[in-house]
Amino acid sequence: MHVAVDFRLRRFDFFSIIELMTERSYLGEFELMILLAAIHLGEEAYGVPISRELERHRGRDVSVGSVYAALERLESKGLVTSSLGDPTPERGGKAKRYFRLTKAGLRQVRETRRVLSELWRVIPDLRLEAQPES
Q: Mean pLDDT, to the nearest integer, of 61-78?
A: 95
Which CATH number is 28-118's, of 3.40.250.10, 1.10.10.10, 3.10.450.50, 3.40.1390.10?
1.10.10.10
CA distance 94 to 31: 26
For residue 84, pLDDT over 60 is answered with yes
Beta bridge partners, 23, equal none
Enter the DSSP assignment of 44.
G
CA distance 35 to 16: 27
Domain chopping of the chain, boundaries:
28-118
CA distance 11 to 127: 19
pLDDT band per the 50, 70, 90 thresholds, residue 95:
confident
Q: What pLDDT does 17 receive?
A: 54
pTM of the model: 0.72
User: Which of the listed ranges 5-19, 49-63, 80-94, 110-124 does the model predict with the highest average pLDDT?
Assistant: 49-63
Cα separation of the two ends of the chain: 9
Q: Are 61 and 55 a contacting pair, CB within 8 Å? A: yes
Strands 80-87 and 95-101, by their bridges, are antiparallel
Q: Calculate the alpha carbon distances from 62 to 16, 23, 31, 38, 54 in Å.
A: 35, 31, 13, 15, 7
